[in-house]
Every structure is written in C-alpha cells, then in structure tokens.
A and B are shown apart, each in its own frame.
Chain A
Amino acid sequence: MKKLVLFIPLALFLGMGIFLYKGLFLNPQKLDSALEGKPIPAFQLEKLETPGEMITQEDLKGQVSLLNVWATWCPSCKYEHPFLMTLTRQKLVPIYGINYRDERAEAIRELRHQGDPYVLNIFDKDGRLGLDLGVYGAPETFLVDHQGIIRFRFAGPVDQRVWNETLYPMVKQLQQEAAAEAAASGQSSATGAAS
C-alpha cells in the first residue's frame, strides 16, 4: 500500500502528459462561436445591389439557410465561390451573403462576372454586423435554422469535403427538424379546424 503512494507522481505526470499531448492536435485557429444557439443579431442594412432597400434579421428567418460572409478583397472567398455556385445550383439550401467591409461597386461587378450564388446580399460596409456575429476573418459561414437561430459557425472556405463531412449532415438534420415542426403545427391547426 505504501509503495503505491510512490506511484502518485508518475500517475500525475502521465495524466498531464496525456492532457498536453492532446493539446498538440488542437487547431488554435478554430474558435467556437459564442453565438451558437443564439438568434442572428438584430441589424438593419442595405441590400448590396440596391442602396436604400433595407434588410433586417427578420428577412433571413423561415427556413434553414447558410449565411456566408464574403468580400472581394478576400482570396479564400474567391476559392470558395465556385463551390457556393454549385450548392446554389443543387438547390439544397438558400445562401444569404454578407458583403463584409467591401466596396459596393466592386462587389457587384464581381458577382456579375463570377456568378451570384446568393439569394440576398447584405451590404455590411463598416463591418458592424460582422462584429456582432463575432466574425474575425472572411470567409465564414453560419448555419441558421428555420427560427433564425445560429446553430453552427464554420470559419474558412467551404468546399466539397467540408460540405459533405460537416455542413450537409447538419443541414439535413435541421431541415428534418423544421419539417417535423411544420407537420406538427399543421396537424394541430387541422384538428383545431375540425373540432
């Protein structure tokens, strides 16, 4: 029994070792979003293409969607762009754009030349919405559920692999949740009408 006590330092050392070893494989670039589980922050910003036309957080509600932060100055966004076009063609999920700290004319030109994958583009000139979303670089993609709650944030360019492995399973699940909820409320209103 007394001998066992002598092994305590070794056990402590091994415990620390395992803990620190695991730390070696963490990605320090990846931050959890503090906004997961919270609604999209309130905002009122112009539509990118039409100055004067306002968009608020209410316009993004109603369906599972992606909220993609992009800019013309951001090389990774250019890399990501063709894949967003593919996603839009597949019509799996609507993508909303936040044009982040950008020049309006340049952004419009870029979309005209390269194609526009977005249902709607919010012009966040001074990055205020980005700040409220906790954006620290572009591109970043937020997965928003049908109630406008942010469920997941992905920092970095979305490509086929990220989509297949991370985003699409979550999108499918959220869409099922939304469908189930709609069915439940549809049923209750139907029975309500019948009675």
Chain B
Amino acid sequence: MKPLNYLLAMILLCFSSLTLATPVDTYEFKSADNQKRALSLAHELRCPQCQNQNLIDSNSPVARDLRLEVYKMVDEGKSDDQIIEFMTTRYGDFVLYKPRMEGRTYALWLGPVILLLIGLTAGILFIRKQRSQPVEAADLTPEQQAELDALLKGDKPGVDNDHKGKKS
C-alpha cells in the first residue's frame, strides 16, 4: 500500500471509534435536549455486568434496562446528580467512568498534578544548581595543555587520516 493510502486508512480508523453506536431502543424522548443529555449520561455510566463498556455500547439486558431507566429519569426532569445517585446506590462507584472527588479519590485526582509539580521543582532545582556552579578550569599538566592546543589547532600529527578525511 502506498504510504499516503496507509496514512489515510489510519486516520479513518482513528475517527471510526468516535462515531457513536446508536442502540436500537425504541424510546421516544420528550425533547431533543433530553435525548442529548440522556445519551451523554448513558455514555458516562459503565455497564455493571460488562468489564469496560458504557450503557450504550453494551447489549447486556442489565445495560439495556439501566439505559432505559436513565432515559426515563431524564424525561422526568431528574438532574444528572440524581441519576448518578440512583446508579451508585445500586451498583456502587464501579459504574462511574469519572470518579467523584472525595476522600478516597483525592490521590487519583491530585496524584498526577502533584507528581508533575515534584518533577518540575526537581528539574528547576537541578538546572539552577548547574548554573550557579562556575565551570572550573581543569588542572592540566603542561604536556596535556600542549596536546590540547595542538588538537584545537587541528594539526596534531597523531590524528589518523580517516578522522581528518571526514572532517574536511
């Protein structure tokens, strides 16, 4: 396959995962807004029977029931919090793809930020230390100094031809 075609195929593959699977539920929403909110909620809730599918992706009977339950609650005018509450009192925090911010999950939410801060501070400290240390002149014996001078001039007799050839 030509590289361009290959690239195109990869890009299409990436986007294919973004298309929403539309479940074949015959549910009539009261309004388009409700439908949008219900679908996005159902996308954020995990099917308790499956390991990693949301309520919309899953075909399991439990997911179907819960999906319809979510739709119904949205149409009844329940808030997102109320619906999530309904789900978690029955199935626990497992159903949440986005864990709530609470005592048990602080490490989860704040961990990455703290690690990043630690990394940044360590990096900055390291760079500062490097800068503040003056570069000391190396102690060279007169012979070493002479060799170095010769090298810098580029006419050291000991340098092999190969090396020289590459340089030029």
- Residues of A near any B CB (own CB < 8 A): 28-29, 31-35, 101, 127, 131-137
Q: Is the CB of B90 within 8 A of A34?
A: yes
Interface of B is mostly: helix
B129 to chain A, nearest CB (A): 12
B66 at the interface (CB under 8 A from A): yes
Contact count band on B? 10 to 19
Q: Is the CB of A35 within 8 A of B90?
A: yes
- Residues of B near any A CB (own CB < 8 A): 48-49, 51, 61-62, 65-66, 69, 88-92, 94
- A127-B65, A137-B49 as given contacts; A132 in contact with B92, CB under 8 Å: no
Complex alpha-carbon distance, A136 and B62, angstroms: 6
Complex alpha-carbon distance, A91 and B66, angstroms: 37
B159 to chain A, nearest CB (A): 39
Q: Is the CB of B48 within 8 A of A31?
A: yes
B91 to chain A, nearest CB (A): 5
Complex alpha-carbon distance, A33 and B91, angstroms: 7
What 10 pairs between A and B have smallest CB-CB spacing? Answer: A34-B92, A134-B90, A136-B48, A136-B49, A134-B91, A136-B62, A31-B94, A137-B49, A28-B51, A34-B89
Q: Is the CB of B65 within 8 A of A131?
A: yes
Complex alpha-carbon distance, A137 and B65, angstroms: 12
- Other-chain contact of B61, A28, A31, A32, A101 (Cβ < 8 Å): A101
- Other-chain contact of B91, A28, A31, A101 (Cβ < 8 Å): A31
Q: Is the CB of B65 within 8 A of A31?
A: no
Question: Can you name the residue of chain B whose Cβ is closest to the Cβ of A132?
Answer: B90
Q: Is the CB of A32 within 8 A of B90?
A: no
Complex alpha-carbon distance, A185 and B28, angstroms: 55
Complex alpha-carbon distance, A132 and B62, angstroms: 12
A127 proximity list for chain B (CB < 8 A) = 61, 65
Given contacts A34-B92, A127-B61, A131-B90, 6 further A-B contacts (CB under 8 A): A31-B91, A34-B90, A131-B65, A132-B90, A134-B90, A136-B48
- A28-B51, A31-B48 as given contacts; A133 in contact with B90, CB under 8 Å: yes
Complex alpha-carbon distance, A132 and B92, angstroms: 12
B66 proximity list for chain A (CB < 8 A) = 131
A19 to chain B, nearest CB (A): 11
B90 proximity list for chain A (CB < 8 A) = 34-35, 131-134
A38 to chain B, nearest CB (A): 8
Complex alpha-carbon distance, A72 and B118, angstroms: 58
B47 to chain A, nearest CB (A): 8
Complex alpha-carbon distance, A149 and B50, angstroms: 27
Question: Can you name the residue of chain A whose Cβ is closest to the Cβ of B48?
Answer: A136
B87 to chain A, nearest CB (A): 9
A29 proximity list for chain B (CB < 8 A) = 51
B65 proximity list for chain A (CB < 8 A) = 127, 131
Complex alpha-carbon distance, A127 and B69, angstroms: 12
Q: Is the CB of B88 within 8 A of A34?
A: yes
Q: Is the CB of A32 within 8 A of B92?
A: yes
Question: Can you name the residue of chain B whose Cβ is closest to the Cβ of A128?
Answer: B65
Complex alpha-carbon distance, A163 and B28, angstroms: 46
Complex alpha-carbon distance, A132 and B48, angstroms: 13
Complex alpha-carbon distance, A120 and B69, angstroms: 28
7 contacts between A and B (CB under 8 A): A29-B51, A33-B92, A127-B65, A131-B65, A131-B90, A134-B90, A134-B91
